[in-house]
Amino acid sequence: MARVLITGSADGLGQLAAKSLADQGHQVVLHARNSERARYAKQKVPGAEHVISGDLSDIDETKNVAYEANALGQFDAVIHNAGVYQSPAKEILGVNTIAPYILSCLIQKPRRLIYLSSSMHLQGRPNLENFDKDMPRISYSDSKLHVLMLCMAVARKWPDVYANAVDPGWVPTKMGGQGAPDDLQKGYETQTWLAVSNDRSAQVSGRYFYHRTERRYNLRAGDVVLQDRFLSLCKDLTSIPFPE
Ligand SMILES: NC(=O)c1ccc[n+]([C@@H]2O[C@H](COP(=O)([O-])OP(=O)(O)OC[C@H]3O[C@@H](n4cnc5c(N)ncnc54)[C@H](OP(=O)(O)O)[C@@H]3O)[C@@H](O)[C@H]2O)c1
């Protein structure tokens, strides 16, 4: 049985992934933005071991999430799931781009890392010149390209870790909306499979999956010069160097 941390697991795909893993007998640690949402998360996934609270749009709170996770001990897998869509650019940058960077750097390296991207990353631009502006012009699509760049950089730099990204499809969660056409169950199954499965096809790194199938991705995510520039900007913004 594996020990898995899932960010943003009070609702949506994070909560469903947590329930599914807990039902399979895995040890699951939830994460929510504050103590009220943490209580809600624990009610929804009573089989979870613990809930960590922390607002991922805030750098200091995100660092504390990592410290609290480390205090709980080693994880086998971390699913970087939390995300925002229709929010101000600063929040999109903070939650979707910077928080997964901070947590990847500070949480004791698990064996498997899963990053939630989106097919919308295909329209994204690295937009790195807008990174540290007070009023950044970062779109959701840009942020989902960033998290894919992070995933590919992690896969390249940490050969002892399986780091993969997932497009869950357009599914009916709070973010996706009631009319979303894709299959909700398939929307979280790829993440849980990558987190715990012994299938050889789940023990790979540097891949981008949709419904357990590898998909082609924006080639800019694999550009190592861009990746290194991205990591360096994240370091400048957070004062946390990427552990090589
Ligand atoms: N749904 C889709 O169609 C779709 C498509 C492509 C990709 N994705 C990606 O899949 C992931 C999960 O999305 P979802 O559809 O499950 O969205 P969701 O239902 O809106 O859930 C997002 C989760 O992230 C949490 N969160 C948001 N901002 C946070 C913050 N500042 N601090 C801590 N937690 C925060 C939310 O907490 P609260 O519940 O407290 O707000 C919630 O638990 C996201 O990364 C998203 O970009 C979704």
Ligand 1 close to Cβ of residue 82 (< 6 A): yes
List, for residues 144-188, the tens digit of each pLDDT value: 999 999 999 999 999 999 999 999 999 999 999 999 999 999 999
Atom of ligand 1 nearest to the CA of 85: 47
- Cα–Cα distance between 11 and 43 in angstroms, integer? 11
- Cα–Cα distance between 158 and 171 in angstroms, integer? 31
Residue range 15-37: mean pLDDT, rounded: 98
Partners of 207 in beta bridges: 164
- Cα(128) to ligand 1 centroid in Å equals 23
Partners of 4 in beta bridges: 28, 77
Residue range 222-234: mean pLDDT, rounded: 98
Give percent of the chain with pLDDT exceeding 90. Answer: 97
Cβ-contact 76, 1 below 8 angstroms: no
How large is the C-alpha radius of gyration of the chain? 16
pLDDT at residue 184 in the model: 98
Nearest CA to ligand 1 atom 10: 116
Tokens of 117: 């991207």
H-state helical runs in the chain: 12-23, 35-44, 59-72, 89-92, 99-106, 140-157, 184-196, 224-238
Sign of the Cα torsion 113, 223, 65, 72 reads positive
Q: What is the pTM (predicted TM-score) of this model?
A: 0.99
- Cα(151) to ligand 1 centroid in Å equals 18
Ligand 1 close to Cβ of residue 175 (< 6 A): yes
| Residues labelled as active-site residues | 140, 144
DSSP secondary structure letters along 140-157: HHHHHHHHHHHHHHHHHH
- Cα(81) to ligand 1 centroid in Å equals 7
pLDDT at residue 135 in the model: 80
Whether residue 132 has pLDDT greater than 90: no
Ligand 1 close to Cβ of residue 8 (< 6 A): yes
State the chain's maximal CA–CA distance in angstroms.
Answer: 45
Residue range 115-122: mean pLDDT, rounded: 98
